[in-house]
Each structure stands twice: as structure tokens, then as C-alpha cells.
Structure 1
Amino acid sequence: MGTKRNCVVDIDTGKASCFGTYRELVATVTGGAVSDAPADARTALSSDSFRAKMESLSKSAVAATPESGNADNRPHSTAGSGLQATAPTKIIIETAYDGVNYDGGSVSFASSTGPCSISQGFELADLRSVSRGADSNWDNRINSFVTFGQCVAQHYTEPKFPSSKGGLLPWTNKMSAKELDGFIGGNPFRDSISSVRWKYRPTDKEALLACDNKTATRCTNNVESSTVDTPNRSIAVSNANCTDIPQQMSVEWEKTEESTVSTGGELTFTFGSDVNFLVFKGTFEASYMQSWGLAWTNSTTFRVNTAQQVSPKSLGMMYYGPKIETVHGTATVDIHGMILHIPYTAKRALETQASIIWTERKLTAAELSNPNLCGTTGITSHRLI
């Protein structure tokens, strides 16, 4: 297949072209709007910042209706809107892989009239008709895929969208070969996709609210990994001793760190907020407990009540930084046959692993003559968090 293993199909024209890296492909397709994508398509899948940029680009685009008169086998938009595009940037609506786990060669599908909207979808009636000119034929080759541009996709094992039960996959935004194999009635789907349709998908917020108001058929959560990050410390308290003798200075403060969840830039909320997405929280907390045997906390409060001895003409500083646990997982929402996989990152401060460091340095001549720093008594304390 050569070195150019990242191809793109323009849904508007059917033209295919290939690139040496996924970064080069994305930069070219988006007109430079996203120029720092990961070099390979597999890494891009797990990059929160890349997904956030792609979704932000989709939101900034305005859908346009292509000219009518498409031939049966020509890829075309199914839009009903008469809006005109305000920018030439193409929107990538799917990246598919020939590897079984989002790896190997990739083909992306893009349109200048994207993204998907309530009134606009897209379709490719026959992958054979758009593969010419690419590295190789992508008919009967897709083994995993992920969508962008506020789209979900339905993949078919035959051209022109057969309606037989064994010939199509559910509407979804992400699926691997493990799930593709025997999805319905034991029918194999590896290396067998020949036509694709895309349509608008609910936002992450809409999907999670569907769990809360019970309009979703099924809501599950899978915690996949947990790491503890080295804390980023900042100055919490500074104690200035401008006198000629050591001073014992009291330090008392309290700070609450809220636990948060982010879904790739589209949605961020705290576990302690009014909008809790209760079903998401419940399934997440149960999955976390099952995986790690620990209870998740909505917030963590750190309290310090101590004293610091500060040397003469010195500034004592207390640096504070809790260790942060970062959890990656996927929430899956089934809305009457539309299956949405929502990757997320949850973070919380670990109560027993706060990092507090005391340091001090000599005050400069300018600082010693500064009344705001030394005050009338020669000692001051400033809380900075």
C-alpha cells in the first residue's frame, strides 16, 4: 500500500486523495484550521484536544445545500436546507480504519457542506465508486471507525443501503471490529462495509439528559483507566517577617476542589453542580467502584491550621498542590437504536495526597521598605488562594 496510508474522500465530488500522515491530511482538508493533529489516526482518536478542535470547527461551519442532480452512485448530501457556506473549510465527518482496533491505514470522509445537522445528512451509495485514485480500494475494508462533525453513521454490507436486518449496523458514532463481528445474528462485518449514511447526532448534553429523563433505552458507563498526576503547586500563603528576630506566624485556610467531568471540550460540569446528569453519575460511580474498589468523591476540602517560623527579614511561603486523579472512560447511551459512545475525562483531588511545601527567602531592600508588605508591625500574612 506504500507510505501514504491516510486517505480522504470528498463526499461532494467523490474525489479521493492520500497523504503521508494524518496531520497532513487534516491540515489540508480543514484549510489549516486544524494544523497540529496527531501524526497518525490512531493517536488522534484518543486525543481530547484534537476531538475538541474538530467539534469546535464543526460548530463554526454553516451547512450548505449542494446542487441537485446527483447520480445514484455519486456520494451526495441529503440536505434540505438552503443555507450558503460562509467558509471553504471542509469538515471531516468520519475516519475509518482497516485495522481492527482503530489502527492501520485510514480513510476519512469530508464535505464542504458539513457538518451534519437536523436538516442535513450525507451518504455514499457505493464505496467502489469513490475509491479509485486512492491508495487502494476501501470497499469491504473498513474494520473500525469514529465520526466527527456532530454525525452518527450507519454502515451497510452491500451497496445502496440494503434494508435487510443482517446487512446494516446501528446508527453509532464509534465502533471497532470486536463489536462489528457478529453484531446482528452472528453475521460477520469484518472487511464487508460497502455503503455508508450519516445523520445528525444529539449533543453529549442531550444524550446524557436523555438518560436522566428516561427517554434513552439504555445508559451504561465503563471506566477504562486511572492515573495520578504530579501536582502543580502554587503559593497558598506568604508570610513576611520584616523584623530582626524570628517570628512564629499562624497559618489557617480552607479550600475545596470540585471533581469535574469533561467530554472532549463539548461539555464540562462538576459533580457538585446543580446539573449533575444523575444517571451518568450513578453509572460512573458504580463502574469506578467496581474497577478500583473505592468510592468517588464529588469534592475534596483541604484545611490547614498550623504555624510557620519565619527567619528575620525573610519571606516565608507555603506552596500547595493536591495530587489529581485522572480517570478516562466511555459513557454509552442507546436512544432507541442510536448508540452513542461518549468518551470523557473525570478529575478529582486526592484528599490524603495533598502536597504542601514550606520555603523562605530573604527580603530585598525594596521589599523591606514597602509598607504594604511589612505593615506597621513588621509582620504580615497574605492568603493567595
Structure 2
Amino acid sequence: MKSVRTFVALGLGAVATVAAVSTPALAQETGSARSTANQHCVLDTDNGAKSCFSTYKEAITFGTKGRVTDAPNDTRAAVRDQKLQERLSGPRNERGLKSARGSLPAAPAERKVLGTLYSDADFGGGTFTYTGSVGCIRYPEFVSMGSGWNDVVSSVAGGQCNVTLYQHSNFLGSSQTYGGGAPYVGDAMNDQASSVSFER
């Protein structure tokens, strides 16, 4: 009987050890997903600097260098506010592309929102906003998603650019391009994107 108790005790000890070793990894993964859902990050494409904030309003204020300070914290309301979107990115024509200004004199480059990724459908959850003054190009820096953003994107809003999501890093695998806003990226791309580009 003593050998049975010893065997059971050893078996329970092994299970406890396995649980203790694997639990931190699970907690880290869950914490990473949770932190993405609660963070609002901005990446400045001009210098590659990434900063994250606890509110969307703070992220937009930082991302526009204080040019826009009254963005709501409700990301769904923000994406549907046409006047706010024009202040962030400039006006878009009916095809979703930034409208040309004709022969107006060139103004100094102003940091604009190129596009925003959302961790939840319908423009909810955490946000990853890309800003810059260069414009809509395929930035080589985005061959992979930022920390915590790989395989979590569910909706996108194209600021002055069309947003293309790629299934794999290095702009590989299946891809989907979105002009304007997409409250859901579709079943094939939902929680699948590993790289992104912003183009016209």
C-alpha cells in the first residue's frame, strides 16, 4: 500500500511540476493578447519610433505632434467621425484615395495618419496607428508586425492610404487590400496578418 501512495504522490508531483512550468508561458501569451487589446500604439514612419498609451486620445495627440488633441477615446466613434478623419489624414475622394490639391503651393510636410489597425472587429479593442510625412509607400520596416500585433488584427481604417495586410512576414502569403475603413477584415485575414503596407 505504501508503494501505491508513493507512486500517486510522485505522479501528482510531476503533474504539479508540469503545470508550474507551463503556466508562466500561458500567462505571458494571455497577458500579451490582453495588453494589445488595452493599448493604443503609434508608429512614426519617419523615424521608426513606437510609443504606446492607455487611451486612444493620448495616442492620437502624440501621433499628430499635438495637431489633433480632441480625438475621442471611443475608437468606434473616432473612425466614424468624418471631420476628425479629415483632420487626421486629409480628405479622401469617393474611391477612398487622398484627394489631390491641384496646383496649390507645396506646404511643409505634416505628419498624417497613414492607417490604423484594430485588434477587434468594428474598430474596437487596441489600436496601432501608423503616422508619417512621407506618404503612402511600402515601408520595408513593416515586413513584420510590431510586438504584440502579429496575428491579432480584425479591422483596419486607411487614413490617407490603402492598407494591405499580408498573411506572412516579408509581404508574403495571401494578402488583402482595404481602402477607407473595413470593420472586419474577413474570415481569411482575421487574426492572420503578419506584415502590412500602406499604398495608393
TM-score (norm 1): 0.36
Structure 1 equivalent of residue 138 of structure 2: 122
Classify 1:29/1:170 alpha carbon distance in 2 versus 1 (closer, same or farther; 3 Å).
closer
**Per-residue deviation at 1:111?**
1.3
Runs of 4+ in structure 1 displaced over 6 angstroms?
Answer: none
Matches within 5 A, 1:332-371: none
- Aligned mates of 1:107, 1:85 — CA distance in 2: 27
Larger radius of gyration: 1
**Per-residue deviation at 1:152?**
0.8
**Per-residue deviation at 1:4?**
5.4
- Residue from 162, 166, 170 that aligns with 1:152: 162
Gaps of 5+ in 2: 1-34, 93-97, 99-105
- Is the 8 Å Cα contact of residues 4 and 18 (structure 1) preserved in structure 2? no
- Aligned mates of 2:36, 2:143 — CA distance in 1: 24
Classify 1:109/1:2 alpha carbon distance in 2 versus 1 (closer, same or farther; 3 Å).
closer
- Aligned mates of 2:130, 2:38 — CA distance in 1: 16
- Aligned mates of 2:163, 2:53 — CA distance in 1: 24
Gaps of 5+ in 1: 60-83, 182-187, 201-385
Classify 1:33/1:57 alpha carbon distance in 2 versus 1 (closer, same or farther; 3 Å).
farther
- Residue from 108, 114, 117 that aligns with 1:86: 108
Classify 1:28/1:45 alpha carbon distance in 2 versus 1 (closer, same or farther; 3 Å).
same
Structure 2 equivalent of residue 19 of structure 1: 53
Structure 2 equivalent of residue 51 of structure 1: 85
**Per-residue deviation at 1:50?**
0.9
Classify 1:157/1:23 alpha carbon distance in 2 versus 1 (closer, same or farther; 3 Å).
same
Classify 1:102/1:3 alpha carbon distance in 2 versus 1 (closer, same or farther; 3 Å).
closer
Deviations 1:140-163 (A, max 9, x none): 1111000112x112111011112x
Classify 1:169/1:41 alpha carbon distance in 2 versus 1 (closer, same or farther; 3 Å).
same
**Per-residue deviation at 1:199?**
1.5
What secondary structure does 1:44 align onto? Answer: helix
| Alignment of 1:180 onto 2:190 | no
The residue type paired with residue 197 of structure 1 is S
Deviations 1:168-220 (A, max 9, x none): 1135332233x511xxxxxx3221101112122xxxxxxxxxxxxxxxxxxxx
State the identity %. 26
What secondary structure does 1:35 align onto? Answer: coil
Q: As a proportion of its length, which structure holds more helix?
A: 2
What secondary structure does 1:170 align onto? Answer: strand
- Is the 8 Å Cα contact of residues 127 and 138 (structure 1) preserved in structure 2? no
The residue type paired with residue 51 of structure 1 is Q
**Per-residue deviation at 1:34?**
1.3
What secondary structure does 1:169 align onto? Answer: strand
- Is the 8 Å Cα contact of residues 156 and 163 (structure 2) preserved in structure 1? no
- Is the 8 Å Cα contact of residues 40 and 52 (structure 2) preserved in structure 1? yes
Q: As a proportion of its length, which structure holds more strand?
A: 1
Structure 2 equivalent of residue 195 of structure 1: 195
Classify 1:52/1:171 alpha carbon distance in 2 versus 1 (closer, same or farther; 3 Å).
closer
Deviations 1:286-330 (A, max 9, x none): xxxxxxxxxxxxxxxxxxxxxxxxxxxxxxxxxxxxxxxxxxxxx
What secondary structure does 2:66 align onto? Answer: coil
Deviations 1:44-72 (A, max 9, x none): 0111221232244898xxxxxxxxxxxxx
Structure 2 equivalent of residue 39 of structure 1: 73
- Aligned mates of 2:142, 2:60 — CA distance in 1: 24
**Per-residue deviation at 1:26?**
1.2
What secondary structure does 2:130 align onto? Answer: strand
- Aligned mates of 1:103, 1:33 — CA distance in 2: 24
- Residue from 177, 180, 198 that aligns with 1:170: 177
- Aligned mates of 1:144, 1:122 — CA distance in 2: 20
- Is the 8 Å Cα contact of residues 7 and 16 (structure 1) preserved in structure 2? yes
Structure 2 equivalent of residue 97 of structure 1: 118
- Aligned mates of 1:32, 1:94 — CA distance in 2: 18
- Aligned mates of 1:57, 1:173 — CA distance in 2: 11
